[in-house]
Chain A
Amino acid sequence: MQMLLSLPFTVGKKALKIWAGIGDFGRYCLSIALSFKSLRYLRFRSLYVIVINQTRFTGIDALNFVVLIALIIGATVIIQATTNLPKFGTEGFIGNLLVIIVARELGPLITALIVISRSGSAIAAEISTQKQNQEILSMEIMGIDTRLYIVFPRILASILSIFSLIMIFDLTAFIGGYVIARSTVYIAPEAFLQTLVDAFSLKDLLATLIKSIIYGTLVPLICCYYGFKASSKFEVPIFVSRAVIRTLFTIIVVNVVISILFYF
């Protein structure tokens, strides 16, 4: 009974904590926006190296893994489609199904999940370690706006990498999946290509572009936020884990919202 009575209190306390967290994140985003004031004092050559390194790590280094996952997903979807759609007399919709499942949803989502688990965690760990080693403090005392210097180039690199990875994921899933699926079922390549072309629209490309921009912004933004949060070495793993989980959750929710806005 006592537990039941304390439930509203506990829920209220949790809600207030979440609200305070959202407020804090809002202030952090605002501080990044305000840091753009110093853009005119900044020489872009100092950001260039960070953008290149981050793009290499987030994009190029993740390529093998993205291609492998895309092959597996593509093959699975094509095998399922070619074996099950004929049962309902809808085998002509293989292309539509691929576009709907792979290009619209799985491609962007799985790419984002790979980027979060590889780069998001690395960003949070790197920043929190830099903070503990007083590297962040040193930069601030040098007059370097760490919001601008650390977060901004990572957002640029992330958008570029995620967009490229999604494109590569989709292409690999379509082409590679088809090649793998041919070992189990036969589909004429011309027919397969035609259904894909028919199903793919400009709207799908626009949705992919918007998703890459939003994911590319959110992943480093949230991971950097938690990276900056750790105030002792003891807190580093806590905030890295929090960064990954909360970015994952946010991306999944955003994915649903974008899908509703575009396709509902």
Chain B
Amino acid sequence: MDDTLLSIEHLSCDIGSHDPLVDINISLARGENAVFFGPENSGIETLMLFLLDIDDRYEGVIRYKNTDIREFDYIGKHNYRREIGYVHGMYGLISNMSVEDNISLPLEYHSTMSQKEIKRLVDRLIYELNLDYCKKLRPVDLSNSEALRTSYARAIVMDPELLIVKHAFEGQSPLNIRSFMDNLKERASRKDKSLIIVTYEPEKFIDFSDRFIMIFNGRVVFDGNRESYLDSENRYLVQYKEGSPAGPMAIL
């Protein structure tokens, strides 16, 4: 049985409004966790737009469970998006809904669960992520870490096959997001769920990521497992880790 969840084949994009991508080839197996990193404007943002099916102006193919995502019809797209959880740095919480309403929204919209079952599931997540004290608050009243935990709870409430977490940790206090990190780590250990983390700080995810992919100037410049991430002498990787201006990457 083919265990590939997601495959990106010869993906290129050269349109003015997005950072370019040049012949990207990456595949992600079910249960695999990958960290995408690279400097600003490296093309990761563009890649995520395509993965999330927000834009389709690219050459090449993105396959999800062996189906080209551009071939999905209206319902296919609808179902594809249901199977992806997404947490991003702006959190995107619905401003006129409370924490618990935000978390229950995908279930209210999609699932056939009863109100009682929804409440039970949402309450469990609220408890696990230590959001009980603020569950009636609206996003405007939340701190950064509370907004992140709410956004994460909303992303996983449908138990998606693939979770994408994009620049959600930057600027967060490690102490405040501990419950979130514990939960994410537990999720990362599951063999039936995949995780993509987009970050500027890949070293934070050494413990629960199998794969590290570095993109620069729209190209994959490093793709390796945990050991090679730690030991590789790849010049791009070394420069990135050292934060040095000297190296193959000219950083403005």
Contact = CB atoms under 8 A, between A and B. Distances in A.
Interface of A: 34, 37-38, 41-43, 45-46, 53, 126, 129-130, 133-135, 137-145, 149
Interface of B: 52, 54, 74-75, 78-82, 84, 86, 88, 90-96, 105-106, 108-112, 115, 151, 154, 158
A45 B108 contact: yes
Contact of A134 (B92, B108, B111, B158): B92
A142 B110 CA distance: 9
A254 B126 CA distance: 50
Nearest to A53: B96
A138 B92 contact: yes
18 contacts: A34-B74, A41-B75, A45-B115, A46-B108, A130-B95, A133-B92, A135-B94, A137-B92, A138-B92, A138-B154, A142-B86, A142-B105, A142-B109, A143-B82, A143-B109, A144-B106, A144-B109, A145-B78
A43 B108 contact: yes
Nearest to B81: A143
B95 A129 contact: yes
Contacts of B84: 141
A133 B95 contact: yes
Given A143-B106, A143-B110, A37 B86 contact: no
A22 B154 CA distance: 37
Contact of A133 (B90, B108, B111): B90
A203 to B, nearest CB: 41
A135 B138 CA distance: 14
Contacts of A149: 109
B78 A134 contact: no
Chain A contact residues: over half helix, strand or loop, or mixed? helix
Given A45-B115, A137-B92, A144-B109, 11 more contacts: A41-B110, A43-B110, A46-B109, A130-B95, A133-B90, A133-B92, A134-B90, A135-B94, A143-B81, A143-B82, A144-B106
Nearest to B77: A143
B229 to A, nearest CB: 28
Q: Which of B95, B108, B109, B112 has the most A CB atoms < 10 Å from its CB? A: B109
B111 to A, nearest CB: 7
Nearest to A141: B86
B227 to A, nearest CB: 33
Given A34-B74, A43-B109, A130 B81 contact: no
B87 to A, nearest CB: 9
Nearest to A42: B109
Contact of B78 (A38, A133, A135): A38
A57 to B, nearest CB: 11
A143 B94 contact: no
- Complex A-B, nearest 7 residue pairs according to Cβ-Cβ distance, in ascending order: A138-B92, A143-B81, A143-B82, A46-B108, A134-B92, A46-B109, A141-B86
Contacts of B109: 42-43, 46, 142-144, 149
A134 B87 CA distance: 11
A134 B92 CA distance: 5
Nearest to A129: B95
Contact of B74 (A38, A126, A130): A38
A140 B74 contact: no
B112 A43 contact: yes
Nearest to A138: B92
Contacts of B110: 41, 43, 143
B78 A140 contact: no
A131 to B, nearest CB: 10
B81 A142 contact: yes
Contacts of A144: 105-106, 109
Residue of B80, B86, B92, B115 with highest tally of chain A CB at under 10 A? B92
B94 A141 contact: no
A140 B52 CA distance: 10
Contact of A137 (B54, B79, B115): B54
A142 B94 contact: no
A41 B75 CA distance: 9
